[in-house]
Structures are given as C-alpha cells and as structure tokens.
Amino acid sequence: MLGCISILLLSATLVDARQVASGDFIGQRVSIRGVVSAAVRDDIDDGFNWVLLKTPEGTVCASTDNRVHSLEELLPLLDADVELTGTVQRFTHWRKFLGCQMLFDNVAEGDSIKVITPASEDPFSAQPLTNASCPHRQTTTGTVVAMTGESFFLRHDEGLLRVRPVDPNDVPHLGGLVTVSGFIEQNQFIPLMTGALWRTEPAKPARPESATDITADDLFRTDPRSHSGGSFHRYVNMDISGKTVRLAGRVEYAARESRGPAGFRIDCSGESVFVDLSGFAPETVSAPRQGAVVSVTGLCLADFDTSGSAIFPRFLGLTIIPRTPEDLQIIRRAPFWTIARLALMLALAVLVAVGFAVWSAALKVVSTRRGRELAREQIRGARAELKVEERTRLAVELHDSISQVLTGVALQIDAASGADGKGAKKFLSTARNMLASCREELNGCLWDLRSRTFEEKDMTEAVQRTLAPHVGSAKLAVRFNVPREMISEATAHAVLRIVRELGTNAVKHGHAKNIKIAGEFHSDTISFSVLDDGCGFDPAEAPGPAQGHFGLQGVRERLNAFNGTIHCDSEPGCGAKFTVVLHTSPSEEK
C-alpha cells in the first residue's frame, strides 16, 4: 500500500503556464519548467515563501511552507532554470481574484524543486539587454539620471530604463555610471528591471542633463483631424516623456508618504502635473505650501495603467522627478491667507463667538443670581437699619415725652401728698392732665408702629391719613407740595407728628369744624401752615407743661432737631393759624 502511495506521489504531469492559469489541473500534481525571477517572504503570512517562475508562455506563482523550503534556500535559485513540482489550486482569502497558483510538495526529501541549469555565480555576466522577451537576467550599463523612493532611472544606449533594486535602501549616486543586472518586464513605454543588482563603474560622474523649458501647451497635443462638437481630441505628448524638462506652476496640494509617494501637484494653466519627491530624505527637501509658484526641473514621465491591457493602457498623468534639491525653485511664495487658513480662522472665530456667548450667558446668570443675593442682602440691611432707626426714634419719643411726663406726674403726686386740701387738689389735677397727655403720646407711638403712613410716596396723602383718625367730623383740606423722595424718613416723621399734634389740638381744644393744611418745599426748607376755624386762644396764656399740657412743647422740641421755628397767630373767637418752618440738613437729604 505504501508503495502505491509513493508511485502516486512521484507521478506528475508536465504543464506550461497557460495550462496552470486555465484551472483545468486544479487539485492535480503537476510539474512546470522555467526561470526563477523572484523569491520573497509572504507579507500576509510569514510562514510561507513565494517563488515567481518565468516561462515562455507566461509567469507562474508558486508557494511553499517556510519549514520545507526556507527563503535562504530559495534565494540562490534566482536566474536558475528549474522544474517545480506541486499541486495546482486557486488563490484563497485576500488573493482569491488572482486566479491559480501552484503549491510545492510539502515533502523535504522529495524533488519538488529540481535544478536544471544553476544560476551563474557572477550575475553581471548575464546577456546584454535586448528588446526580445527573455526570462533570464539581463545586464546594461548607463548613467543614473533620477531616483524615486523604490527605484532609479538609468540612461543607457537604448534609451531609459527603470530599475527596481533588490534592496530599495541601497541605490547608486545620481550621475554615477553603473552596470545593472536584473529581470526585464517589457512594456510599450519604459522597461522595468526588477530584482536588480548594481555595481559602480570606474568613471567620473556625468554632468546633469540639460533641461528643456516647456509650458502647459507642450504637455498635450491636439489632433486637428478629430474635430467633433466644436472640440478637438487631445493626447499626451510622448516626446517629453523620458526627457529632462523645466516647468513652472502653482502648487495645488502636497501628498504625504503615508498616502502615496511624497511630493506635490502643480497646476500649469489648467494642466496638473505631479512632482515626485520620494527619492529625497525628508530633511533635505520638503513640498512647498499650497498656492506657491514654483519652477521644477527633472525627469518627465507619462504614467500609464497597464494592468488592464498592455496594448491599450489608461493614461494616469504626468510626473516630474527632480534630481537634486536645487531643481526645485520657489518663484513666488504662497500667500498667507489661503482658503484652508481662512476657513480655519472663520471656524476659530465662530468657536470664539460661541464661547463668548456661552460665557456671557453664564456670566449673566451668575451676575443675576449675585445681584439678587446682593439685593436681598441690601434689603435685609435696609430693613435692619429701619428697625434700628425706628427703635431709636421710639426710644427717643418715650424718653423725651412719656418718661419726662411720668417723672412730672410723680413730682406732682409727691407735692400733693405734702400740701393742704386745695393745693393737693391742684397738684392732683395737674398730674391727671399729665397722665392724659402721656396716654395720648403713648397712643401716638403705638399708632406710628402700626400705621403704614410713613411709607406713602405722596405727602398730601400721608398728611390726610395721619389726621383722619383724630379730626372726627371736622372737614380736612390738605395741599402739601413736598416731594416725598426729597426728604428723609426722620424729616417725614417729624412733619407728620407735628401736623398730627396741631390738627388734634384744633379739634380737641379749639372745637374746629374746618382745618386747612398747606405746605411747600424750597431748597432745603419745608414750610407749612395749619389753619382752623375753632374758638381760638391767647398764645401768651396757652397752658404748658406746668398745667400738664406737653403738645406744643413736644412740637418745639422736634423743631429744634431741624433748626425750625413755629409761629402761632390766634385770638379768642377767631380760630388759630400755626406756621411752621424747618430745615433739612444735607445729611438727611436723599
């Protein structure tokens, strides 16, 4: 049984590249002969290695497990004629659209790789470069005229050659004479040499090629025979491809290495050209800013996509590859205000405006809240001050009137206790009058505490409300032209207490039926009069504190605090008129 398995394992069908690509041998063990043009590690799965086999009929990709055939084992097979044996299968996973591949026999002792003709020990002894298709290495000698990040360009006797070295970090110097050896991939434009090795030839570096000045009109040509719909067909000018040119234009944008070749794109009168800077170190040259006008000198290439059809490729664009940093000259620097910067500044302005609006709104909320708190504190403070003032005023009232009256009552009683019957009666009568006056003063104080008259904003209304409870049926006429906001609380209180005392006396003692009160304000002086039609009296014989009457005495004491005066014009049977003048001190004015 094992013998049968060995016979089946060793039997393989010899096929070519077209048969592998057709898929007719999927799952079958086959052999194919060709030249090894590449051996690399798999970038997706580093447990496998890839071998690229060139045959007259095409190219075949073959993979092997690194444990069976290591990369160190495969690299010496480059440019060797070999016969590979393995199983045909389709690509899977990410490469499933690439068609078919061949998987080496995973048997270390097997003959999955058979060397027919080993590679030459000297790769530079390979045949010279030819236009004919050849799977083996080819060599040529030329001058390095330009470099990119992964390749360099060689000017040789047959034209221009793009060289992709085995080690992209190991490249020759610009202008040096070198010999290259590698595998040629022919196309109708610039041949590409892959897997290339190079060596420097003993010669002086060549002088840089002279550049041809071109404009946007030289990039494309127009076919006058293809006139259609008022326009002509344009096509790329292949005469400038592969030549060293000098072109000026405005920078459109800069590309980054992470998103493609490092460089920038320039606009030349509506035509776009890419400037490839991938061959320079970032610290030696950088792309100019967008909007700058530059002059670029370098190798001009027409890029085509040949993946679809090598006969009818798709034009991608024009590229200029500068040779040295001096090939990039700035004619006019970019303006400071670009569209991007303007948009950024507008965005910043909007953000600042929004932030300021939010800050203003927050500040307004905080200030409103703080203002309310301060207002409440001020109100509480004002209320506290009013309470203190009211308590002080009440204490003064009680001390200056009731306390003194009670003291007088006590003295009268003491005097009555030591006098005879008629004298005692007189003293007791005086004490009775004093107590009545004390009761009236106490009632006035209580009324002041309960009344809101002092909160009135109109002094005429305040006078009327003050006298209304005390004049009974007497008619009251008031015209008090004194602005309430111009006088202090103490002044208003004094005026109302004086008016109340005079009006009450007119009804109580003069039995008046009509009372007229008029007042006015001039500068810091308040003058008012109280006129009644009562029985009148003789001011010289008016009873006073000695008889237990303290009304007018209290009025005079209040006026003394305001440097005021009172004048009485009366006689028996003719009513009475009191004229009062008081001054508001500057500290009391509002």
Of the candidates 270, 403, 401, 249, which has an alpha carbon nearest to the alpha carbon of residue 331?
A: 249
Residue 93 and residue 157 in one domain: no
Domain-located, residue 96: yes
Task: Please state the domain count of the chain.
Answer: 5
Q: Quick one: 314 exposed, middle or buried, by C-beta within 10 A (0-12, 13-18, 19+)?
A: exposed
Domain-located, residue 207: no
- Please tell me the distance from the alpha carbon of residue 132 to that of residue 126, in angstroms, as a whole number: 15
In three-state form (DSSP H/G/I as H, E/B as E, the rest C), the secondary structure along 539-576 is HHHCCCHHHCCCHHHHHHHHHHCCCCEEEEEECCCCCE
- Identify the pLDDT of residue 589: 41
- Identify the pLDDT of residue 410: 67
Residue 397 and residue 490 in one domain: no
Beta bridge mates, 154: 144, 161
Residue 195 and residue 257 in one domain: no
Residue 515 and residue 426 in one domain: no
Residue 338 tokens, joined: 């670009």
Which of these three, 303, 332, 361, is where a domain ends?
332
Structural domain containing residue 260:
212-332
Which of these three, 450, 467, 486, is where a domain ends?
450
| End-to-end C-alpha distance for the chain, whole angstroms | 127
Residue 456 and residue 446 in one domain: no
For residues 542 and 250, the model is more confident at: 250
Share of the chain above pLDDT 70, in %: 79
Residue 28 and residue 90 in one domain: yes
Residue 469 and residue 573 in one domain: yes
Domain-located, residue 562: yes
Residue 574 and residue 498 in one domain: yes
Residue 83 and residue 186 in one domain: no
| CATH code of the domain covering residue 130 | 2.40.50.140
pLDDT tens-place string over residues 322-345:
999 999 999 999 888 877 788 999
Residue 392 and residue 425 in one domain: yes
Q: Tokens 């084992």: give the residue.
A: 73
Residue 376 and residue 507 in one domain: no
- Please tell me the distance from the alpha carbon of residue 138 to that of residue 582, in angstroms, as a whole number: 128
Domain-located, residue 503: yes
Among the residue ranges 60-74, 122-136, 410-424, the one predicted with the least confidence is 410-424
Domain-located, residue 324: yes
- Please tell me the distance from the alpha carbon of residue 463 to that of residue 448, in angstroms, as a whole number: 13
- Please tell me the distance from the alpha carbon of residue 390 to that of residue 384, in angstroms, as a whole number: 10
- Identify the pLDDT of residue 258: 47
Residue 107 and residue 29 in one domain: yes
Does the global pTM surpass 0.75?
no
Which of these three, 282, 297, 332, is where a domain ends?
332
Of the candidates 155, 158, 164, 157, which has an alpha carbon nearest to the alpha carbon of residue 185?
A: 164
- Please tell me the distance from the alpha carbon of residue 71 to that of residue 39, in angstroms, as a whole number: 7
* The one-letter amino acid at 543: P
pLDDT tens-place string over residues 347-387:
999 999 999 999 999 999 999 999 999 988 888 887 777 66
Q: Tokens 């040499």: give the residue.
A: 193
Strands in 21-147 per DSSP E:
29-41, 48-55, 58-65, 81-90, 100-104, 113-117, 127-128, 138-147
pLDDT tens-place string over residues 3-50:
334 444 557 889 998 988 888 899 899 999 999 999 999 888 888 999
Domain-located, residue 206: no
pLDDT tens-place string over residues 147-184:
988 899 999 988 899 999 988 888 898 889 999 999 99
**Average pLDDT of the chain to the nearest whole number:** 82
Beta bridge mates, 10: none
Domain-located, residue 366: yes
Domain-located, residue 314: yes
Among the residue ranges 99-108, 331-340, 511-520, the one predicted with the least confidence is 99-108
3-state secondary structure of 258: helix
- Please tell me the distance from the alpha carbon of residue 443 to that of residue 464, in angstroms, as a whole number: 18
